[in-house]
Structures are given as structure tokens and as C-alpha cells.
Amino acid sequence: MLNQEEKMARNYNCDGSKCISSNGEVRVYPTGGGSNLILCYNCWANENRYRFNKGREYKRPEDWPQVDWVKARVYNTGDGDD
Ligand SMILES: [Zn+2]
């Protein structure tokens, strides 16, 4: 399915795979236990949807908390303090 892959944008700052833009803003998605995902907006929405579905599937939505994009910290992708 090479053609399908060509159509997909890849944001190299993003940990997800649902990117629609290669240079969109990415933010820090805390996943618990001190670890994070760095996700673009579309992957963020996808992660929240995934968690929503998991919470419903297991009937334990409190175990699958979703994170609000607008409240999240913007991940600095600039070449700063590296
Ligand atoms: Zn993404």
C-alpha cells in the first residue's frame, strides 16, 4: 500500500501516526507514570478517541483519562536547549 503511505503526512516531531500536516504544532500528552507522548492535533484527537473507547470498553473511564488539547503544554520543537 505504498500509495496510501504517500498520501499521509508525517510530522517528525509527533509520536503518533495520524498526522495530517508535517509541521503542525505538537503538545505534551501526559500518559501517566511520568511519561509523555508528543502529539500533533490530529494524533491528539485520535489518542483521546482511543482512550474514550477503551474506557467504555472496560467500563472504567477513570482508567483512561483524556487530556484537553487547549490545556496542554506546547512542546518546544525549536533548536533551543538541546
Ligand atoms: Zn501526529
Give per-residue pLDDT as tens, 1-37. 455 555 678 899 999 999 999 989 999 999 988 999 9
Report how far ligand 1's centroid is from the alpha carbon of 6 (Å): 15
Helix residue spans in the chain (DSSP H): 2-7, 41-57
- What is the pTM (predicted TM-score) of this model? 0.82
pLDDT number for residue 1: 47
| The dihedral sign for the CA sequence 47, 52, 58, 64 | positive
Q: With DSSP H G I counted as helix, E B as strand and the rest as coil, what are the percentages for the chain, rounded to 5?
A: 35, 15, 50
pLDDT tens column, 32-49:
889 999 999 999 999 999
Above 90 in pLDDT, residue 69?
A: yes
Above 50 in pLDDT, residue 58?
A: yes
Whose CA is closest to 16, among 2, 34, 33, 31?
31
Cα(60)–Cα(32) distance, integer angstroms = 16
Report how far ligand 1's centroid is from the alpha carbon of 5 (Å): 14
Report how far ligand 1's centroid is from the alpha carbon of 80 (Å): 21
To 5 degrees, how large is the angle CA 81–CA 10–CA 29? 55
